[in-house]
Amino acid sequence: MKTPTRLQPLVHEGLIDEVVRQLMSGKEAAVYVVRCGGDIRCAKVYKEANKRGFRQAATYQEGRKTRNTRQARAMAKGTRFGRKAQEDAWQNVEVDTLYRLAAAGVRVPRPYAYSHGVVLMELLTDADGNAAPRLNDVVLPEALALEYHAMLLREIVRMLCAGVIHGDLSEYNVLVTGEGPVIIDLPQAVDAAANNNAATMLKRDVFNITTYCSRFAPALAATRFGDEIWSLYERAQLHPDVGLTGRFAASTRPADVAAVMQDIAAVRAEHEARLRHKALIRQ
């Protein structure tokens, strides 16, 4: 096929030898099957911000750090340079997250390169060697639904142990390969420790996967895996091989408001003391 404009720089640089065909076009990117030497891979081409269905909501941006202070100021002001920097940062998140999760043993596509707004990555296939279908397109026997659900929960736990939450996980961004499900589409991934919405996002990811699998395995509908996983994470008891039950009992013990107010007062006093010390140094 004719080489798309966005892929031409990668052809000129020798990263791609041939564009075989377009695989899909989604809300945030178009994906092409490409040949790189003797390997068949896929190239994810991000759409421009004004053409994407998925918006860079503030809830996903929270906690993301920009090392370049000039870029950070421009992004805050919304200048043309700032919008370009924010777009680059949005795309870089997926690339960085793919490398981070692959190193942690999470089942995600293996990344190979990132250039000119294009990610070269592993082409995922089914048992017959064809492009892997989305989980949404697969009809599952009950036993397989339970197996895939357990596998995906293990991947969600591994991600959280690596400090990452997908943030938009559902049956539409899971591919079913010959070895089982693989999680894709990570540009909106968030830092679990730096985002105030992390708990809500984690529980929503788990809920979406559980709800889909419960269509084929109805017993899953009564489980509370999201609450259980987050509770273990908060108590520093979560690890990749943790045994999950799907049961969770919320604490009914009343909050110790007095103790919380004491902690707040102690922190405020420490902050004020630090300010006084700095003022003395300046004098």
Question: Which residue in 88, 96, 126, 168 is the catalytic one?
Answer: 168
Separation of alpha carbons 39 and 18, rounded Å? 11
The yes-or-no answer on residue 185 being catalytic is yes
In three state form, how does the secondary structure of the chain look?
CCCCHHHHHHHHCCCCCEEEEEEEECCCEEEEEEEECCEEEEEEEECCHHHCCCCCCHHHHCCCCCCCHHHHHHHHHCCHHHHHHHHHHHHHHHHHHHHHHHHCCCCCCCEEEEECCEEEEECCECCCCCECCEHHHCCCCHHHHHHHHHHHHHHHHHHHHCCEECCCCCHHHEEEECCEEEECCCCCCEECCCCCCHHHHHHHHHHHHHHHHCCCCHHHHHCCHHHHHHHHHHCCCCCCCCCCCCCCCCCCCCCCHHHHHHHHHHHHHHHHHHHHHHHHHHC
Task: List, in order, residues 6 or more apart from 236 with CB less than 8 Å away.
Answer: none
Question: Which residue in 185, 191, 241, 256 is the catalytic one?
Answer: 185
> 183 near 148, Cβ under 8 Å?
no
Separation of alpha carbons 3 and 16, rounded Å? 10
Q: Which residues are catalytic?
A: 168, 185
